[in-house]
Amino acid sequence: MKKPCRPADICAHLGDDYDRYLGAIVPPLFQNTLFTRKHEEHGYSYSRINNPTIEILEKKLAALDKPLTDGAINKSKSFLDWILLVLMNTANGNSFRRRLGMTGIAGNCIIDGFWYNAKAFALSNLDMEQDAFEEWASAEIDIYDGRYDDTFTWEYPYRDDTLIPSKLTVSQLSGELRELSPAPKFMHDGMPVSPAERGKAAHLLMQRIKIQPHDRDSVRNEIHRLCEEGYLEERLARSINVESIVGFFNSELGKRLISSVKVLREREFNYRADAGKVFGIGQGGKFMLQGMIDCCFIEDGEWVIIDYKTDYVAVGQPPEEVAMKHQKQLDLYSKSLCALTGINVKERYVHLLFTGNSVRV
């Protein structure tokens, strides 16, 4: 006895003709309007009358004309198993049933409205003239009362949240992407030091230099130590402005740093930030914000943040103008540090190593 086909098999393979479609396992979707005369032997001339895609669909629907049982539902393996079975076993599928010469099913349609009536009329009257169809469609549109507009114009309320990336760095958000090295490390000897490399060397020194009062000799000794320990290349060490480092530790801000009981340098963090507050979109969506704070220290029970910058400052250009370009970055650091530690941030500074200015932002 021949085993009956499962709904999934019917939906997937019934009506397929591999030889006819050049061996394609899944027949192509025919979206064209006209066929050449040599295809008239298959009954195709205009898609509004018939085409291979409609023909295959008709065969599948005809094979599915059977009672919808619990067993059939439980054996469903795909959405097609559910959709076509339900469609053919409710009044919604009557247009397909009439097109296939089947008896309609009595009862109210689950989904009603102009769009359904137009589809049903078109499917059951595929040979009507274009002008007649357009006249009928216009009349239907005129009497449509809009009762289903809310249903069919519904939009996903959290669409903006889908545009939010899952992870971003502070540098990406502030537009301060780090420059990639132009060559591998073993090729660096003899190459000029780039501005990005000069900044990297200064940051590395400020990360590992001893927090204490410094003069020229002590800074040079610290640079030498870092070279000996393999943290700093000789060519990069020569690019460090020793005077600017000495000036920082002898400044008011540097002395406050030295006197602090708790100092964190190159503090990495991962913080689940509120997209609405950062981007101004979304409805409570979160994303992972990653970053690294150059230096922060506790003073009177609150944080003070320092961000070292090696930006070029033109002659006559106010240091404040250069420092304020980094305000967004400092804002993100402040929110993250406060949220992660529960300690308020009272002050933020951009220290310009090029000029020695510390600018509060």
Q: What is the pLDDT of residues 253-298, one digit of tens each?
A: 999 999 999 999 998 989 888 877 777 766 667 888 888 999 999 9
Q: Residue 59 in 3-state DSSP?
A: helix
Q: What is the mean pLDDT of residues 175-200?
A: 62
**What pLDDT is stored for residue 155 in this prediction?**
75
In the predicted structure, residue 300 carries a pLDDT above the cut 90: yes
Q: What is the pLDDT of residues 89-141, one digit of tens each?
A: 667 677 766 766 677 777 655 444 334 444 444 445 445 566 776 676 677 66
> Please, which residues bridge with residue 264 across strands?
296
Q: What is the mean pLDDT of residues 171-184?
A: 60
- Burial of residue 329 (CB within 10 Å: 0-12, 13-18, 19+) is buried
- Burial of residue 226 (CB within 10 Å: 0-12, 13-18, 19+) is buried
Q: What is the pLDDT of residues 331-340, one digit of tens each?
A: 889 989 998 9
- Percent of the chain's residues with pLDDT above 70: 59
| Region label for 38, one of left (φ > 0), alpha (ψ between -120 and 50) or beta (otherwise) | alpha
Rounded Cα–Cα distance for residues 182 and 312 (Å): 21
The strand ranges marked E within 46-145 are none
Residue 221: band (very low, low, confident or very high) from pLDDT cuts 50, 70, 90: very high
**What pLDDT is stored for residue 76 in this prediction?**
52
Q: What is the mean pLDDT of residues 23-45?
A: 66
In contact, 170 and 332? CB cutoff 8 Å = yes
> Please, which residues bridge with residue 46 across strands?
34
Element (H, E) at 87: helix 79-88
Please tell me which of 4-8, 117-121, 177-181, 353-357 the model is most confident about, judged by mean pLDDT. Answer: 353-357
Q: Tell which wins on pLDDT, 16 or 177.
A: 16
Rounded Cα–Cα distance for residues 281 and 45 (Å): 51
Q: What is the pLDDT of residues 237-255, one digit of tens each?
A: 888 889 999 999 999 999 9
Q: Tell which wins on pLDDT, 151 or 332.
A: 332
Residue 88: band (very low, low, confident or very high) from pLDDT cuts 50, 70, 90: low
Element (H, E) at 121: helix 114-124
Rounded Cα–Cα distance for residues 177 and 291 (Å): 12
Structure tokens that stand for 32 in this block: 């064209």
Rounded Cα–Cα distance for residues 348 and 359 (Å): 8
Rounded Cα–Cα distance for residues 348 and 296 (Å): 9
Q: What is the mean pLDDT of residues 307-335?
A: 89
Rounded Cα–Cα distance for residues 90 and 93 (Å): 6
In the predicted structure, residue 24 carries a pLDDT above the cut 70: no
Q: Tell which wins on pLDDT, 353 or 173.
A: 353
Residue 225: band (very low, low, confident or very high) from pLDDT cuts 50, 70, 90: very high
Q: What is the mean pLDDT of residues 318-333?
A: 90
- Percent of the chain's residues with pLDDT above 90: 24
Produce one character per residue of 277-295: b if its CB has 16 or more CB atoms within 10 Å, e if not: ebbeebeebebebbbebbb
The chain-wide mean pLDDT, for the chain, equals: 75
